[in-house]
């Protein structure tokens, strides 16, 4: 079996896994990332890519969950399960794991409504908020237990504190005493071995009766516990012993609870690490601007705008690479430093990255193939230990590759046949390629030999390729050109560098005519390719322009259709208003004729019939005028002949509608008028007195009649766009009156953004409208500043 790790190192997969590990939040995730092995199982790789891609999507939309500071709790939980008492630091570590598990479940809840392939991991998490909070509230740090961890602990610490204060007060009294001050090294109370003591000068050892607990480093000071406080200090030590026992009891209790939930916590921790690994892949993908490739079970590779991930993305040149569909072997030729080796490494590294479940730094729609073995001979790997030459080293590697290669293998060979006689090297290279083709594996090889260019041209399922080189700038473009054999460009480069022309001419004469003709054919192909590239770019540009123009036309067409529908709707609305007014006037005429018929036996019937006939003719004329959609203009010079009275019949000149005065003008000159089913306020200047008409005491219920003949629809919004301010306010008043009758509470008034004139006029009108309680501009989702939301009284 070949040493796959050596091939992975040649293709720099360990460097990619190190980059992945650096994105990890947890130590265990770091190690897991470094241990990832490529898989050739289609379902496994496809599932891993889906999970990495879903994590990338969640990262882009919601950011990554925070998992820092998590340590593996399994060893601690196993010890707790065996009956061990965990330390405060270990319990805090377990609580931190529980906190991260809970934060992960809460983070996923913010992604509600989004189904991903990671859901089963999130659903497998078992948070334990009760145990987490119990540990955090009981333990302050690795060395300190909280007073409130238990009532017993709180009581013991209260007693210890009280006893300590009493001892300290007693000793401070001795410190302040004139008798003892001359015996003390310093006028302070200190602690040695957990007991309160006084620093006494050594020469006064016998003057202060007590127990010596310590001596200073110089020997000049003794730390003595006076006999007067020995009992009190003993009491403190007893209490401290009880405190320590209580702390041990609390730790044992918490350890037992952790052991009880050990299996659930360990399972959740494994899921947590898996989630962190997938989000590490997502963070790496974000750093590389990667995408999810399509998988090919038959080894087809089609990379679009591929960028080698270990080259600075500001310097790397995206390239398109194909292999395994129209051809199974790719022979890349061209000068050194042209990017041939980078092309090979990109093919191999992308294949291994995908097999590790990593997204690839290439364009959408790329395809990568799966292989059981990816074998590479790249670079000068001369074996010093075996004292092998460069050629021998390469051949040793190639022999191992030939022995392992089969139909499920991708083989990458750099500078095939190099390091020996050109004639023999070329023949050997061709023979190796034939052997690999017969083994049905996919091959990509680089070479300088012209014989391999001819071989690729003449052999089925073998294709030439080269990395484009700009002779003018003497620099490679790193763009892979498939189907075009590479040129050495030695003569052209030498001429650009200033080599004497006669030397170049003699060199050309030494080249065989077959090689010259071949180079001429290659040169012609290159010129044709460049011309086709230009024509292709021009055609793409023209196609883009045509598609853009077509899109603009379609958008304009849609806009015209919308405007057409809007105008038709406006016309229908105006027609409905006209019909409504005509029906109302007709109903009034019918009501008056019915009233006259009832009074036909009255003595004044003849006079009333004459008046009714005159009024009928007048109203018929008005009906004809109403049916005409042309708005009646105001008589600017009209002046009321007298002051209005409640019950007077007046004409609303702006809508050419008769109504009855129900309330006299207010301080702003606004008159309340009832016109059929509508009640509105209008300026005094808008009214024209209709003489000879007063409100009947027994007027038929016009509202009932109109509602029985005109069906009203409950709409909560009105569109005023496209109207001038006067038209808009008329339509708005009509709409508000309908909404009042229908007992609506909130309405939407669409006036658009535009210049703002219509919005200001509408809001100024709403401010004084008797049926409007409040109004505001719309918010996001309601139309924002293009819509006003009003609340009716």
**CA dist list (Å): 217 to 185, 202, 222, 223, 572:** 14, 12, 10, 12, 107
786 and 666 co-located in one domain: no
pLDDT at 624: 53
pLDDT at 491: 66
59 compared with 213, residue with greater pLDDT: 59
- Whether the pLDDT of residue 602 is over 80: the answer is no
340 compared with 584, residue with greater pLDDT: 340
* Share above pLDDT 70 across residues of the chain, in percent, rounded to a whole number: 81
* pTM greater than 0.75 (yes/no): no
pLDDT band of 247, cuts 50, 70, 90: very high
Final residue belonging to a domain, choices 222, 237, 252: 237
- Residue 71 belongs to some domain of the structure: yes
Strand positions, DSSP E, 236-289: none
Beta bridge partners of 663: 672
CA distance 369 to 264: 39
479 and 403 co-located in one domain: yes
Q: Which two tokens stand for residue 683?
A: 């300026």
pLDDT at 679: 75
773 and 698 co-located in one domain: no
pLDDT band of 606, cuts 50, 70, 90: low
336 compared with 306, residue with greater pLDDT: 306
CB 94 within 8 A of CB 266: no
- Residue 590 belongs to some domain of the structure: no
- Residue 164 belongs to some domain of the structure: yes
CA distance 67 to 255: 23
> 260-309 pLDDT, tens per residue?
999 999 999 999 999 999 999 999 999 999 999 999 989 999 999 999 99
Q: What is the CATH number of the domain that holds 755?
A: 3.30.1370.110
113 and 183 co-located in one domain: no
pLDDT at 524: 56
Instruction: Count Cβ neighbours within 10 Å for each residue of 426-456 and write b for 16 or more, e otherwise.
Output: bebbbebbeebbeeebbbbbbbbbbbbbbbb
pLDDT band of 152, cuts 50, 70, 90: very high
pLDDT at 361: 95
Q: What is the CATH number of the domain that holds 192?
A: 1.10.1420
CA distance 265 to 273: 12
pLDDT at 275: 95
731 and 705 co-located in one domain: no
- Residue 524 belongs to some domain of the structure: no
30 compared with 520, residue with greater pLDDT: 30
Give the DSSP H or E segment for 660.
strand 657-663
Parent domain of 191 = 154-237
277 and 396 co-located in one domain: no
158 and 48 co-located in one domain: no
605 compared with 420, residue with greater pLDDT: 420
Give the DSSP H or E segment for 707.
helix 702-709
- Residue 216 belongs to some domain of the structure: yes
610 compared with 779, residue with greater pLDDT: 779
421 and 384 co-located in one domain: yes
Final residue belonging to a domain, choices 647, 679, 711: 711
338 and 462 co-located in one domain: yes
- Residue 355 belongs to some domain of the structure: yes
Domain count along the chain: 5
665 and 721 co-located in one domain: no
- Whether the pLDDT of residue 632 is over 60: the answer is no
DSSP labels, 27-84: HHHHHHHHT------HHHHHHHHHHHHHHHHHHHHH-PPP-TT----HHHHHHHHTTP
281 and 312 co-located in one domain: no
List, as residue ranges, the binding site: 334-341
CA distance 730 to 628: 17
Q: What is the CATH number of the domain that holds 361?
A: 3.40.50.300
- Whether the pLDDT of residue 208 is over 90: the answer is no
CA distance 593 to 491: 113
Q: Which two tokens stand for residue 778?
A: 């719309």
Give the DSSP H or E segment for 791.
strand 787-792
List, as residue ranges, the binding site for ATP: 334-341
- Residue 255 belongs to some domain of the structure: no
> 490-521 pLDDT, tens per residue?
666 666 667 787 887 777 676 655 555 555 55
Final residue belonging to a domain, choices 676, 711, 746: 711
Half-sphere exposure (Cβ direction) of 391: Cα atoms closer than 13 Å: 10
375 and 398 co-located in one domain: yes
544 compared with 715, residue with greater pLDDT: 544
- Residue 545 belongs to some domain of the structure: no
pLDDT at 654: 73
> 641-664 pLDDT, tens per residue?
888 888 888 888 877 778 888 888
pLDDT band of 706, cuts 50, 70, 90: very low
């Amino acid at each position: 079996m070949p040493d796959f790790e050596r091939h992975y190192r040649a293709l720099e997969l360990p460097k990619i896994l190190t980059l992945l590990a650096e994105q990890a939040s947890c130590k265990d995730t770091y190690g897991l990332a470094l241990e990832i092995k490529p898989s050739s199982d289609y379902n496994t790789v496809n599932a891993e890519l889906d999970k990495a891609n879903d994590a990338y999507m969640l990262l882009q939309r919601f950011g990554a969950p925070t998992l820092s500071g998590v340590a593996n709790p399994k060893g601690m939980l196993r010890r707790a399960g065996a009956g061990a008492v965990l330390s405060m630091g270990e319990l805090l570590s377990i609580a931190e794991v529980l906190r991260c598990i809970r934060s992960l479940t809460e983070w996923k809840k913010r992604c509600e409504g989004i189904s991903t392939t990671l859901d089963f991991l999130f659903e497998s998490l078992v948070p334990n908020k009760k145990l987490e909070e119990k540990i955090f509230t009981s333990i302050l740090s690795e060395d300190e237990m909280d007073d409130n961890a238990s009532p017993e602990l709180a009581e013991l610490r209260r007693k210890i504190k009280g006893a300590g204060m009493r001892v300290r007060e007693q000793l401070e009294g001795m410190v302040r005493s004139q008798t003892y001050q001359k015996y003390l090294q310093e006028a302070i109370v200190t602690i040695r071995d957990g007991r309160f003591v006084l620093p006494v000068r050594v020469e006064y050892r016998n003057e202060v009766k007590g127990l010596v607990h310590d001596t200073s480093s110089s020997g000049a000071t003794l730390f003595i516990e006076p006999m007067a406080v020995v009992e009190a200090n003993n009491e403190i030590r007893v209490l401290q012993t009880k405190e320590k026992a209580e702390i041990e009891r609390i730790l044992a209790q918490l350890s037992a609870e952790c052991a009880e939930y050990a299996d659930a916590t360990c399972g959740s921790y494994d899921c947590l690490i898996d989630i962190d690994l997938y989000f590490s892949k997502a963070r790496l993908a974000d750093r590389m601007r990667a995408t999810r490739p399509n998988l090919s079970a038959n080894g087809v590779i089609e990379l679009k705008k591929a960028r080698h991930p270990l080259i600075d993305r500001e310097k790397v040149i995206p390239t398109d690479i194909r292999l395994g569909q129209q051809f199974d072997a790719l022979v890349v030729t061209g000068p050194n430093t042209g990017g041939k080796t980078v092309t090979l490494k990109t093919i191999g590294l992308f294949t291994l990255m995908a097999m590790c479940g990593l997204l690839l730094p290439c364009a959408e729609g790329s395809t990568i193939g799966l292989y059981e073995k990816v074998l590479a001979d790249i670079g000068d790997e001369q074996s010093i230990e075996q004292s092998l030459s460069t050629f021998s080293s390469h051949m040793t590697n190639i022999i191992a590759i030939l022995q392992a290669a089969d139909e499920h293998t991708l083989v990458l060979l750099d500078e095939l046949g190099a390091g020996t006689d050109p004639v023999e090297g070329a023949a050997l290279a061709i023979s190796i390629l034939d052997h690999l083709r017969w083994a049905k594996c996919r091959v990509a090889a680089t070479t300088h030999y012209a014989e391999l260019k001819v071989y690729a041209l003449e052999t089925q399922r073998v294709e030439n390729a080269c990395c484009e080189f700009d002779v003018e700038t003497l620099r490679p473009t790193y763009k892979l050109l498939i189907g075009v054999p590479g040129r050495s460009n030695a003569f052209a480069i030498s001429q650009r560098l200033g080599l004497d022309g006669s030397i170049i001419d003699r060199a050309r004469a030494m080249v065989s005519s077959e090689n010259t003709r071949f180079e001429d054919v290659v040169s012609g192909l290159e010129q044709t390719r460049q011309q086709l590239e230009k024509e292709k770019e021009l055609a793409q540009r023209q196609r883009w322009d045509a598609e853009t123009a077509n899109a603009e036309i379609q958008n304009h067409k849609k806009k015209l259709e919308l405007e057409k529908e809007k105008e038709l709707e406006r016309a229908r609305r105006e027609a409905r208003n006209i019909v409504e007014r005509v029906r109302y006037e007709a109903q009034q005429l019918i009501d008056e004729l019915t009233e006259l018929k009832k009074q036909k036996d009255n003595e004044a019937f003849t006079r009333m019939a004459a008046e009714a006939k005159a009024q009928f003719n007048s109203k018929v004329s008005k009906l004809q005028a109403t049916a005409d959609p042309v708005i009646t203009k105001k008589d600017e010079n009209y002046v009321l002949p007298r002051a209005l009275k409640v019950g007077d019949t007046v004409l609303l000149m702006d809508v050419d509608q008769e109504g009855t005065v129900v309330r006299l003008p207010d301080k702003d000159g606004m008159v309340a008028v009832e016109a059929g089913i509508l009640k509105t306020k209008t300026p005094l200047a808008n009214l024209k007195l209709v003489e000879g008409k007063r409100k009947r005491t027994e007027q038929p219920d016009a509202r009932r009649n109109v509602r029985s003949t005109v069906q009203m629809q409950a709409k909560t919004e009105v569109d005023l766009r496209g109207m001038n301010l006067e038209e808009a306010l008329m339509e708005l008043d009509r709409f508000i009156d309908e909404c009042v009758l229908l007992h609506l509470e909130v309405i939407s008034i669409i006036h658009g953004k535009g210049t703002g004139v219509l919005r200001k006029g509408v809001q100024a009108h709403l401010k004084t409208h008797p049926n409007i309680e409040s109004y505001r501009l719309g918010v996001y989702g309601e139309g924002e500043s293009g819509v006003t939301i009003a609340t009716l009284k």
